[in-house]
Amino acid sequence: MNANKRKIINDPVLGFITIPSDLLYDLIQHPYFQRLNRIKQLGLTSLVYPGTQHTRFQHSLGSMHLMDECLTQLRVKGVEITEEETEGALAAILLHDIGHGPFSHVLEDSIVQDIKHEELSLMLIQEINTELNGLLATAIAIFTNTYPKRFLHQLVSGQLDMDRLDYLVRDSFYSGVVEGSVGADRIIKMLHVANDSLVVETKGIYSIENFLIARRLMYWQVYLHKTALAGERMLVNILTRAKQLTRKGESLFASPALTYFLTNRANKALFESTPEVLKQFTLLDDADITCAIKVWVNHPDLILSTLSEHFINRKLFKVKISSTQFSEDEITTVQNKFINTFSISAEEASYFFSYITLTNDTYNEKNDNIKILFNDGSTKDISDVSDILNTKVLAQNVHKYFLCYMPL
């Protein structure tokens, strides 16, 4: 290995991270990957947990490190994994988040449309692959689940993938919500492969139960914390208003890249037909949004300036939560207040509040199951093995309804 590329990175969460190969070093140095150092992992969660300033860069490195440890463990247990597969799996997990935009879950609702960050990740990985003359072929096959050894894909994207293990440990560490930690080390030591499928050895059952409950705690206590959600809804409304004004021809301060997305309707079709969109996308990060909104505080548009000023100075929407739908009446009452107070139209009033439904599967779109491996070689789903976890709840989605509005 090239001596200049043999680097060790200090990670406060996982300790020293060794860069495993020249290829991985080059990927980390790539401008698309360096961009992740300017995108916070948890977006607006720092409104509630000020410690959560960590970036997708760190998370991606951490996931790669756990993948490295996991593959080593599996090989010790006799699972056959070639050098090429190792590098492929490491590259796939390193780059899995490369398509994230600033405040990503927000952006998917406002700046871009009908396209998910996973699709953008794949487009970018393919572009890098072209630059590298095909060195990422195995990584792409693993990432897209077309590689014959399916368990490698599960390690990149599955119920117990290295992505999740890293983000649960990391987000718990940085938020200070210590109960959210999941013993990634121990879980990795208990992973195995049976019938080309990732499984957990029996003695790992309690760790898995704990993992599922810790994840649930992190969702409701951190990821879906109402104050962070309030901030996100404000951000969506601000960006939607900015797009509306831009398209009406008003002039708004913004970086060229952000202007591009305020002006154009960046949906999947456009990304596929127009290479320029992806190019512009790679220029965006958290700074474009923050910088613009600070300037919009002084914009003549009442809606844009009010929301921007409140957002920047942390005067957040109030939130009402319910486990059942809010009635039309309740929502209309809120809307009318803004119509009357500001003498604005119903459409304009709609920027001052937001009504959304959340399900805990917001972060849970991975539908394969966690399988337990018994000593006789048979496997069972964790929901059939664990007596304490309510299997129906594990299968179901929990819905919560949030009505957020600017306090008057």
Please, which of residues 8-67 interact with a copy of itself by CB under 8 A? Answer: 8-13, 15-16, 29, 31, 34, 37-38, 40, 46, 49-51, 53-55, 57-58, 61
Smaller CB separation from a copy of itself, 194 or 389: 389
- Integer Cα distance of 110 and 106 in angstroms: 7
Residue 110 is a binding residue for a copy of itself (CB under 8 A): no
Q: By CB under 8 A, which span of 151-159, 310-318, 329-337, 340-348 interacts with a copy of itself?
A: 310-318
Task: Report how far apart, in Å, the C-alpha atoms of 95 and of each of 204, 235, 354, 359 are.
Answer: 29, 27, 33, 27
Show contacts with a copy of itself in window 114-173 (CB under 8 A). Answer: 173
Q: By CB under 8 A, which span of 90-98, 135-143, 152-160, 286-294 interacts with a copy of itself?
A: 286-294
Query: In sequence order, what are the residues at sequence separation of 6 or more whose Cβ sits closer than 8 angstroms to the Cβ of residue 220?
Result: 360
Closest of 382, 381, 70, 362 to residue 209, by C-alpha: 382
Smaller CB separation from a copy of itself, 88 or 183: 183
Smaller CB separation from a copy of itself, 269 or 287: 287
Residue 331 is a binding residue for a copy of itself (CB under 8 A): no
DSSP string, 245-260: HHHTT------HHHHH
Report the first-to-last Cα separation within the chain, whole angstroms.
62
Residue 353 is a binding residue for a copy of itself (CB under 8 A): no
Show contacts with a copy of itself in window 178-237 (CB under 8 A). Answer: 178-179, 181-183, 185-186, 189, 206-207, 209-211, 213-214, 216-217, 220-221
Distance of CA 264 to the CA centre of its chain: 24
Smaller CB separation from a copy of itself, 67 or 254: 254
Pairing of strands 399-405, 353-359: antiparallel
Region of 314 (left: φ > 0; alpha: ψ -120 to 50; beta: rest) is left
Judge contact between 307 and 234, C-beta under 8 A: yes
Q: Which listed residue (25, 253, 342, 363) binds a copy of itself by CB under 8 A? A: 253
State the DSSP code for 55.
B
Query: Least CB distance from residue 238 to a copy of itself, whole Å?
Result: 15
Q: Which regions of 202-285 does DSSP assign to beta strands (E)? A: 266-267
Residue 270 is a binding residue for a copy of itself (CB under 8 A): no
Smaller CB separation from a copy of itself, 58 or 86: 58
Q: Supply 357's token pair.
A: 């439904």
Residue 395 is a binding residue for a copy of itself (CB under 8 A): no
Query: Least CB distance from residue 192 to a copy of itself, whole Å?
Result: 14
Residue 322 is a binding residue for a copy of itself (CB under 8 A): no
- Integer Cα distance of 38 and 56 in angstroms: 8
Residue 397 is a binding residue for a copy of itself (CB under 8 A): no
Q: Which listed residue (64, 142, 177, 228) binds a copy of itself by CB under 8 A? A: 177
Smaller CB separation from a copy of itself, 142 or 234: 234
Smaller CB separation from a copy of itself, 249 or 256: 256
Task: Report how far apart, in Å, the C-alpha atoms of 35 and of each of 129, 134, 325, 408 are.
Answer: 18, 22, 40, 39
- Integer Cα distance of 20 and 25 in angstroms: 8
Q: Which listed residue (161, 166, 232, 288) binds a copy of itself by CB under 8 A? A: 288
Residue 249 is a binding residue for a copy of itself (CB under 8 A): no
- Residues in contact with a copy of itself, counted by CB under 8 A, come to a total of 72
Smaller CB separation from a copy of itself, 155 or 385: 385
Judge contact between 77 and 176, C-beta under 8 A: no
Give the strand order in the sheet containing 197-201: 191-194, 197-201, 371-373, 379-381
Q: Which helix (H) or strand (E) holds 372?
A: strand 371-373
Q: Which listed residue (80, 376, 388, 407) binds a copy of itself by CB under 8 A? A: 388
